[in-house]
Amino acid sequence: MNKLRILCLHGFTSNGTMHALQIRSLTDALSKDFDFLFPDGPHNVDMSQQGSENSSTKLWTEYVKANSTSGHRAWWFARDDPANSETGTYEGLERSLGYLGDYMKKEAPIHAVWGFSQGACFAGLLTALLSPGLKDHPLRKHLPSNQGPPSAGVFISGFKARFPQYGSIYAQGIDVPTLTIIGEKDDAVPSEKSEALMKICREPSALRHAGGHEIPGSPEHQATIIKFLRENVHAQNRESL
């Protein structure tokens, strides 16, 4: 039997294998109906430029090395304009869009998107770009023309792209059911940034947890995520199974 496909986008300095490890209990619980896809971001991250002397960074670097072969990856690098703190660019975004466009062609169809941190920002951008109203957006050319909007999106510790040139992507909102997951003690992505992303979603749901910059793993939180995916992805695509 065919399974529904969920595209899962990892966070900055992680990779697809590591992200799969982080949500293994969830994917195991849903393995009957869903395939979870875990691409690596196409950009390598030099950890010596990421505060490698920090103890938590050292532990993360060792953990990634011990459990995967892809190294530290990213979907882009945020580059601020030194002359204006309000402007800048996501260096490498178009390359990542092209890379994911090819990946989506190979793995089609994609029924839902999921992302953590930088991956959640990217998942929001993808979901918006795949809407019919943005078919003429200049960045839409990187994505498959026959890939419609996903049935749902899950954004964990997500945020909107912060530079003004990306604002047009959000102009029509995100018009699919979404679940925004927010950590009350998240010091990497403050709750107001995730809430700003949630505000442009037309059918938003929220899951708040007491943790920080992490994917909540308690049975209660996982049950909420599973319920959301079953109701908004599985139920909407029964005929394709």
Domain that holds residue 63: 4-78+88-240
| Secondary structure of residue 170 in the 3-state scheme | helix
pLDDT number for residue 240 = 45
Is residue 214 in some structural domain? yes
* CATH number of the domain encompassing residue 211: 3.40.50.1820
The CB density around residue 73, as the number of other CB atoms within 10 Å, is: 26
Is residue 216 in some structural domain? yes
**DSSP-derived secondary structure for 64-78:** HHHH-SS-SEES-EE
Is residue 152 in some structural domain? yes
pLDDT number for residue 2 = 82
Is residue 8 in some structural domain? yes
Q: How does pLDDT run across 101-132, given as a tens digit for each residue?
A: 999 999 999 999 999 999 999 999 999 999 99
Q: CB neighbours of 158 closer than 8 A, spacing ≥ 6?
A: 115, 116, 117, 120, 121, 123, 124, 180, 189, 193, 194, 197
pLDDT number for residue 23 = 97
**Which residues of the chain, if any, have pLDDT below 50?**
239-241
Burial of 93 (0-12, 13-18, 19+ CB in 10 A): buried
pLDDT number for residue 51 = 67
Is residue 83 in some structural domain? no
pLDDT number for residue 15 = 98
Number of domains composing the chain: 1
Is residue 199 in some structural domain? yes
Distance CA 37, CA 35 (A): 6
Nearest to 44 by CA among 21, 77, 18, 66: 77
